[in-house]
Amino acid sequence: MNAPLFVIYGALLLGLTGVAEYQGWSWNRINQQRVLPKSIRDNPGAYRSSYGGYSRYIGGK
């Protein structure tokens, strides 16, 4: 890659990094649900999390 192309590539990369930082992007998988009734605040157990019902091995070291 010659120098001008590298400069363009680098500028785009830094620009994208800046946008990602400014917008607060993340690598993490987040499930965004748009609407939730206000009653959840009074009855948190009524909400079913997308990640609920967790089952894992019982073990470890």
Partner 1 sequence: MPAVQAKSISCPNCGGPVALRGFAHTLSVVCPQCLTVLDASTPEVQILQTFQSKERVNPTIPLGSRGKIGDTQFEAIGFQVRQVSTGDDSYSWSEYLLFNPYKGFRYLTEYNGHWNFVHVETALPEQSRSAGKLAMRYGGKTYLAFDSMTANTAYVLGEFPWRVQVGESVACQDFVAPPLMLSSEASAGDITWSRAEYMRGSQVWQAFKLPGSPPPAYGIFANQPSPYAGSIGSSWRTWLWLNVALAGLVFLFMVISPGRSAFSDHYAYSQGVKSDSAFVTPTFQLDGRNANVELSVHTDLDNNWAYFNFALINDQTGQTFDFAREVSYYHDSDGSEGSRNNTVIVPSVPSGQYYLRVEPEMAAGSPYVRYELELRRNVPNYGFFAVAALLLLIPPVLTTFRKGSFEAARWRESDYAPAVSGGDD
Answer yes or no whether residue 14 interacts with partner 1 by CB under 8 A.
yes
Q: Could you tell me the CA-to-CA distances from 34 to 31, 52, 53 in Å, in that order?
A: 10, 18, 22
Q: Is residue 8 near partner 1 by the rule CB under 8 A? A: no
> How many residues make contact with partner 1 (CB under 8 A)?
46
First-to-last alpha carbon distance for the chain, in angstroms, is: 49
Q: Per CB under 8 A, which of residues 25..54 are in contact with partner 1?
A: 25-38, 40-41, 44-45, 47, 49-52, 54
Least distance to partner 1 from the beta carbon of 43, Å?
9
Provide the token pair at 3: 């120098």
Encoded amino acid at 36, one letter: L
